[in-house]
Structure formats: structure tokens, C-alpha cells
Structure 1
Amino acid sequence: MSKAPYVREYKQSKARGKDYMVRCDGCGRKVPRFKTFVAYRGLKLDYDIVRMVGRKNISITRVKAYYCPKCARNLGIVQPGKLGRRKDVWI
């Protein structure tokens, strides 16, 4: 079995106890929360539209989505590289 092209750094210690499990929003797998990668779902509006309508008339909700390492790689949330570079992704 080949190694991953990046290093997974999970900051879980024994002193914290057991971390709770969350469902991956990509595949539905149950994963410990400290292993998940967070992305935000929602709308991203163009600046011209916001200026025309007015900022007070727009309400946009951002929803936090948790992804397992496998889905995060496939969706491009985590890039292979040194220490698993993360980038802010809107899905």
C-alpha cells in the first residue's frame, strides 16, 4: 500500500478524552470530529448584484459542512503537499 503524498496531522490527545463523531456531508461516513475538514456551504453573490439590490435587503446563510479526509481530497478542499495545505472553499 502506498503512502499518502502529504502528512496527516491530527491534534488529538489522550487528555481530551473521546471526541464525538460527526457524519461526513459528502459520503455519510461517521468520522471523529478532529479528523474532519470544514468547508462552508452557501451563496456567494457578485459585488455588482449586492450593490444594485442593497446589502440590507440580502440575507445569506452560511452552513458549516464537515468532510472526511477522502471526500476533502476529492472535492479539492485539501491539497496534497507539505502538511496537507488547506484552502478556503465555498461549495
Structure 2
Amino acid sequence: MAKAPYVREYKQSKARGKDYTVRCDGCGRNVPRFKTFVSYRGLRLDYDIVRMVGKKNVHVSNIKAYYCPKCARNLGIVKIGKLGRRGA
């Protein structure tokens, strides 16, 4: 069996019991928080636009998005198995 390209270190933050669940932002299913992959969504502006408008007038926020392992593989947040190692 092939080894996954990412390290599956599913470590719970709590000593006992269940970790709380989070909604996957890709498919919407409930996943334990320690199994999710975190990605930041947001708007990135070009440096020239920011310089023209002024840095004080621009407010851009990043939103933390949680993805289950399946969606993380499909969206490219985590490399897919053999294809990721082969470089194809």
C-alpha cells in the first residue's frame, strides 16, 4: 500500500472524549476539527492598486476555512497520492 504524501498526525487536543466537530467549507459534512486542513480565503489586491488608493483606506480580511481530507485533496491544498510524488 502506498504511503500518503502528507503526514496523518490526527492528534486530539483534548485528553479524553470527543473533539468538537467543524463543518467542511467544501462539502458541508461534519468532521472532527483535528482531522481538518486549514486554509485561508480572502481577497488579495495588487500592490499598485493599494499604493494608489492608500494603505489606510484598504481593509482586507482573511477567513479561516476548514476542509475535510477529501475536499483538501480535490482542491489541491494537499497533494494527491502518487501523482504528487511523480510530478505529473
Q: TM-score, normalised by structure 1?
A: 0.76
1:51: how far off?
A: 0.8
Match of 1:5 in 2: 4
Q: TM-score, normalised by structure 2?
A: 0.78
- In the alignment, structure 1 segments of 5+ residues that lack a partner are 82-91
Asked whether the equivalents of residues 13 and 34 of structure 2 are also in contact (C-alpha less than 8 Å), the reply is: no
Work out the CA distance in 2 between the residues paired with 1:16 and 1:66: 23
Shift >6 Å, 4+ stretches: none
Work out the CA distance in 1 between the residues paired with 2:47 and 2:24: 32
Work out the CA distance in 2 between the residues paired with 1:64 and 1:13: 19
- In the alignment, structure 2 segments of 5+ residues that lack a partner are 82-88
Distance 1:51 1:19, change over 3 A: same
- Higher-Rg structure is 2
- Please state which structure has a larger fraction of its residues in helix: 2
Q: RMSD between aligned alpha carbons?
A: 2.1
Match of 1:36 in 2: 36
1:5: how far off?
A: 3.2
